[in-house]
Amino acid sequence: VSESEAAWQDALLAIRVAEVARHRIGGIHLRARAGPVRDIWLDHFHATLTDAPIIRFSPEVDEGRLLGDLDLARTLAEGRPVLSEGLLTRADGGAVVLAMAERAEPTLCGILAGAMDTGTIRAARMAGESHPARFTLIAMDEGAEPDERLPVALDDRMGLRVDLSAVSWRIATGDLTVPAPASLDFADITMSDPMLTALTTAAMQAGWQSMRGALWLSVVARIVAALNGAQEVAPEHAASAIRLVFGPVTVAEETEEPAQEQPDDQPPPPPPPPPDEAESDSDDPLDLDPETLQDMLIAAEAMRTMQLPILLPADVAGAQGRGSGKAGALKALEPTRSLVRAKRALGRLPGGGPTPLADGMAKALELSTRILREGSTPLLVMMTDGNGNIALDGTANRAQSREDVAALSRHLACQPMRRVMIDISARPRDTARTFAAGLHADYVALPRADASSVSRLVSTYMQDR
């Protein structure tokens, strides 16, 4: 069975599982670009809901339309306030198809999440009577960029994941069909305690913090067993459930390997370097230990309270013998209003190792372009000594790295934003000043950068805008 075939088989199985579970499974997170394969899948899904309503809308939908609002024409005609029926009430007993779900704003997510939790909605106006709204949500996610993804509030409430990106049109139009309906009621299917424990552990290990992961697994495993005519959940049913609930690809986020794509003619980076042999030729390597890394949290906190986006590429260079074997030391921190998330992102920042300054700057350029496009003004804060030794292509080529850095500096200097470079090396030197000048950034030397000094500096810059 090819990968494409296996993915399509799971996608069709998900349809049948959703049909059995209805609103009790929350919904299906459907990752696919618009196209014939997705249309074929939706046709199959529609076919399982013959009499039930299917309501489709995009994230720009008006809240009044969702929940029910004053019907002006009828109100004036009848001389009494008349409420129109909300879209979510119309979807009761059927499905809601949310196109471009990755663009859903918090308010829409909150409304949908509330309806999914309670099975009811309240009209946006007047006395706000509650109406039934039990539906399966099909969240169509076309997200391509890392920042385009289904909001957590919705994703957590989706019991099934389908990814059609690997499915070819030939497979989708082939003979595979939706599995036959079950003759057994899944509520009658038993599951042994060790099996339940295994599924719960799987959800935990996949990093699914809320309880929903384990709940979805236990429901889906029993439905799959019922579809196969089994009275009890067997390991193969559990395996299917894990694929359907977690999705075909489980991304392990934190296992970044050091730069592997070293061409043969380049010396590989030496992880772990012995204490006196750091690859930096600087005689005063930046002394950034994990505690200093935490400094950047302060800036993240400033960003949170000011509710303004900020860029924080953190250059963690040449810490001797520390954090051996970790690359990607330089990282552009996504703007976030959540301190919890900022902490997590920064907690993963490795210290020491080679200094891919150019890579960090490229990420900063990408991020600042995005923020500017969204209509906000970022503040670029760089903590570095300006010495990079890894080029953009990942090679340990100092000359190339210098060229990359210079080119990126020119690009960043053109962005309409304020830039500040914090030189945190123990003995500030000219290379850092030159770097700051090339970047058109203010140069600030903070040889003993501690939490409060970085925080004060960043806050001052943010208030100045």
Partner 1 sequence: VVAGGWSGDPAPFFDAITCDPDKPDAACDHCQSLLPKGKRRKVSAPVIDLPLGASEDRVVGALDLEKALVSGEKAFEPGLLAAANRGFLYIDEANLLEDHLVDLLLDVAASGVNVVEREGLSVRHAARFVLVGSGNPEEGELRPQLLDRFGLSVEVASPDSVADRVEVVKRRDAYDRDPEGFAKAYKARESKIRNRIAKAKTAVGDITMPDETLAIAAELCLALGVDGLRGELTLIRAARARAALDGDDTVTRAHLLTVAPSALRHRLRRDPLDEAGSTARIDRAIAALDAGS
Cβ atoms within 10 Å of 397's Cβ, excluding its own: 18
Indicate which single residue of 71, 85, 301, 334 sits in contact with partner 1 (rule: CB under 8 A).
301
341 is an interface residue for partner 1 by CB under 8 A: yes
**Complex with partner 1: residue 34 or 126, whichever CB lies closer:** 126
200 is an interface residue for partner 1 by CB under 8 A: yes
193 is an interface residue for partner 1 by CB under 8 A: yes
Shortest reach from residue 76's CB to partner 1, in Å: 8
121 is an interface residue for partner 1 by CB under 8 A: yes
Rounded CA-CA distance 12/18 in Å is 10
C-alpha separations of 55 from 237, 247, 265 in Å: 31, 25, 59
- CB under 8 A: which stretch of 27-35, 173-181, 209-217, 381-389 binds partner 1? 209-217
**Complex with partner 1: residue 297 or 365, whichever CB lies closer:** 297
Rounded CA-CA distance 373/402 in Å is 28
Give the residue from 422, 420, 465 showing the smallest Cα distance to 440: 420
Enumerate residues 405-434 that contact partner 1 by CB under 8 A. none
What residue spans of 251-397 are helical by DSSP H?
A: 290-293, 295-306, 339-347, 357-373
305 is an interface residue for partner 1 by CB under 8 A: yes
Give the per-residue contact string, 348-387, with partner 1 (x = CB under 8 A; - = no). Answer: ----------------------------------------
- Residue 282 is classified by DSSP as -
CB-side neighbour CA atoms (13 Å) of 414: 7
448 is an interface residue for partner 1 by CB under 8 A: no
116 is an interface residue for partner 1 by CB under 8 A: no
398 is an interface residue for partner 1 by CB under 8 A: no
337 is an interface residue for partner 1 by CB under 8 A: yes
C-alpha separations of 269 from 282, 291, 353, 400 in Å: 16, 25, 8, 16
15 is an interface residue for partner 1 by CB under 8 A: no
**Complex with partner 1: residue 295 or 404, whichever CB lies closer:** 295
209 is an interface residue for partner 1 by CB under 8 A: yes
Indicate which single residue of 152, 239, 249, 426 sits in contact with partner 1 (rule: CB under 8 A).
152
300 is an interface residue for partner 1 by CB under 8 A: yes
Which of 287-295's residues contact partners 24+ apart within 8 Å by CB, and which partners?
Answer: 287/319, 287/426, 288/316, 288/317, 288/319, 288/351, 288/424, 289/319, 289/322, 289/351, 290/351, 292/424, 292/449, 293/346, 293/349, 293/351, 294/346, 294/451, 295/383, 295/449, 295/450, 295/451, 295/454, 295/455
- Residues 439, 315 contacting (CB under 8 angstroms): no
Instruction: Provide the CA 285 distance to its chain's centre, in angstroms.
Output: 34
Rounded CA-CA distance 179/177 in Å is 6
Shortest reach from residue 127's CB to partner 1, in Å: 5
129 is an interface residue for partner 1 by CB under 8 A: yes
**Complex with partner 1: residue 129 or 442, whichever CB lies closer:** 129
Instruction: Provide the CA 464 distance to its chain's centre, in angstroms.
Output: 32
- CB under 8 A: which stretch of 1-9, 114-122, 279-287, 397-405 binds partner 1? 114-122
239 is an interface residue for partner 1 by CB under 8 A: no
211 is an interface residue for partner 1 by CB under 8 A: yes
The two beta strands, 130-132 and 120-122, are antiparallel
C-alpha separations of 447 from 197, 284, 423, 432 in Å: 52, 11, 7, 12
Which are the contacts of 165, defined by CB distance < 8 A and separation ≥ 6? 31, 32, 33
Indicate which single residue of 113, 288, 371, 436 sits in contact with partner 1 (rule: CB under 8 A).
113
Enumerate residues 52-81 that contact partner 1 by CB under 8 A. 63-64, 66-67, 70, 75-76, 79-81
**Complex with partner 1: residue 3 or 62, whichever CB lies closer:** 62
Q: Which residues bind partner 1 (CB under 8 A)?
A: 24, 63-64, 66-67, 70, 75-76, 79-81, 106-111, 113-114, 117, 121-122, 124-129, 151-153, 187, 193, 196-197, 200-201, 203-204, 209-211, 214-215, 218, 294-295, 297-298, 300-301, 304-305, 337-343, 451
